[in-house]
Copies of this chain bind each other. A is one copy, B any other.
Amino acid sequence: MSPEYIVPLGTSAAVPSGGRHFASLAYVAEAYVVLFDCGEGTQFRLIEAGIRTSRIRVIAISHLHGDHYLGLPGLLSTMVMQQRENPLVLIAPAPLEEVLALLPGIGTERRPFEIDFRAIESHFTSGRVYRNAPETSVGTGGFSITAAALDHTVTAYGFRLQADDRPGNLDVEKAVGLGVTEHDDYRALKSGKSVQATDGRIILPPDVVSPPVSGSSFAYVSDSRPCAAATELASEVDLLYHEATFGEDDRERALATGHSTAREAGEVAARASARRLVLGHFSARYPDAEVLADEARAVFPRVESAKELERYYLRNPDPPS
C-alpha cells in the first residue's frame, strides 16, 4: 500500500571514514523525492543510488555545518547544467540563501528553474514549513513538512514528513449495483461526499469506499542532543532516523559536542512511540555501527544502524506482483 522508503546516502559524522560518506538521506515516494541534508558528494551518492536529481522536489538542510550542506552548491549547479525546469523547494536556515548567492561559478543566476526558498529564521521554534498540494482531487501525493529547533552547537532543525491520508478504494461493482454510474459521482464518493443514485437513494461514502489509509510519516533528527522537540517530531512516526554519533563510552563527548549516543536515540524513539528507528551519523570511532544499534536496543527494540544505499521502507512494501 505504501511504497515510501528512505535511502541513507551518507552516514558519516564530520570526517569521512571506513567507506562512509557525508550526511544525506533520500526519502523516496512514488511521485517525488525529498532530500534531507546534502553533504559534499551527495550528487555522486544519488547516482550510485539510482535516484535521478529531476525527481527531487524538496531539499531540507538541518544546519549549516559543512558536512551537512557542502554538497548543495554542486547539486544545484548540476541541476542547472541538466536544464531542470521544475521548481525546487529549499528549506534551510536563513543564512544559506546569502551563502548560495555569494558563491561564484555555480551558475544558479542563469538557472532555468525556480528555487522556492523557505528560509527558517533564527527565532523559529516549530511549525509547518512546507505543504505539497495533492496531485489529484482525491488527495494522492500530498504531504507536509514540519520543522522544529533541536539542541545542537549551532542552530539546527529536525524535520517530519507527513504524507496525507489516502482515500479508500471504491468498489465500482457495488456502486453500479446501487445505481451509481457517473465518474463524477465516484470521485465525489472517494473524496468523502455523498451522492444520489439513479433511483433517488442517497449513497454515503462508507457504503462503497473502504476506510481511508493513514499517511505514512518520517522524522529526521540530525544533529542534536536528545530533546523534547525531537520526541515531538517523531511522535508515532513510522520511521525515525536519528543521529547516534557516539556510544555510551563517549557519553561525555556527545554532551560536549551537541550529539546523541545510540541509547539516547533509542530513548527518543521509545518516548515518541515511533514504530521503527534507524541510526546514522556515526563517528569514525565506530567502524562497526552494529555495536551502536545494540546499545539502543536496550531501550527500544525495533532499531537498526543505517547501511548506506540500502532501502528502509516506512511500512511493509507491496508484495511483488
Please give the residue numbers on chain A whose beta carbons come within 8 Å of chain B beta carbons, in ascending order.
Answer: 14-16, 21-22, 40-41, 43-44, 47, 63-71, 73-74, 77-78, 81-82, 95, 99, 102-107, 154
| A82 proximity list for chain B (CB < 8 A) | 15
| A102 proximity list for chain B (CB < 8 A) | 99, 102
| A71 proximity list for chain B (CB < 8 A) | 40
Contacts A16-B78, A66-B73, A81-B14 given; indicate if A154 touches B105 (C-beta within 8 A): yes
Q: How far is the CA of A73 from the CA of B73 in the complex (A)?
A: 12
User: How many copies are assembled?
Assistant: 2
In-complex Cβ contact of A41 among B41, B67, B99 (8 A): B41
In-complex Cβ contact of A74 among B43, B70, B77, B78 (8 A): B70
Are B103 and A47 interface neighbours, CB within 8 A? no
Q: How far is the CA of A309 from the CA of B278 in the complex (A)?
A: 35
6 pairs, CB–CB < 8 Å, chain A vs chain B: A64-B104, A64-B105, A65-B105, A70-B106, A104-B154, A105-B154
Are A74 and B81 interface neighbours, CB within 8 A? no
| A77 proximity list for chain B (CB < 8 A) | 66-67, 70
Are B70 and A73 interface neighbours, CB within 8 A? yes
Contacts A16-B78, A78-B16 given; indicate if A105 touches B66 (C-beta within 8 A): yes
Are A103 and B99 interface neighbours, CB within 8 A? yes
In-complex Cβ contact of A66 among B44, B64, B65, B106 (8 A): B106
Can you name 11 extra interface pairs (CB under 8 A) apart from A40-B70, A40-B71, A70-B70? A14-B81, A15-B78, A16-B43, A21-B44, A40-B40, A41-B41, A65-B105, A66-B106, A67-B77, A70-B74, A99-B104
Q: How far is the CA of A81 from the CA of B41 in the complex (A)?
A: 18
Q: How far is the CA of A95 from the CA of B103 in the complex (A)?
A: 10
| A81 proximity list for chain B (CB < 8 A) | 14-15
| A154 proximity list for chain B (CB < 8 A) | 104-105
Q: How far is the CA of A81 from the CA of B68 in the complex (A)?
A: 15
| A106 proximity list for chain B (CB < 8 A) | 66, 70
Contacts A15-B81, A47-B16 given; indicate if A40 touches B104 (C-beta within 8 A): no
Q: How far is the CA of A263 from the CA of B235 in the complex (A)?
A: 63
Q: How far is the CA of A177 from the CA of B255 in the complex (A)?
A: 71
| A73 proximity list for chain B (CB < 8 A) | 66, 70
| A68 proximity list for chain B (CB < 8 A) | 105
Q: How far is the CA of A255 from the CA of B63 in the complex (A)?
A: 41
CB distance from A45 to the nearest CB of B (A): 10
Q: How far is the CA of A65 from the CA of B82 in the complex (A)?
A: 16
| A99 proximity list for chain B (CB < 8 A) | 102-104
| A95 proximity list for chain B (CB < 8 A) | 104
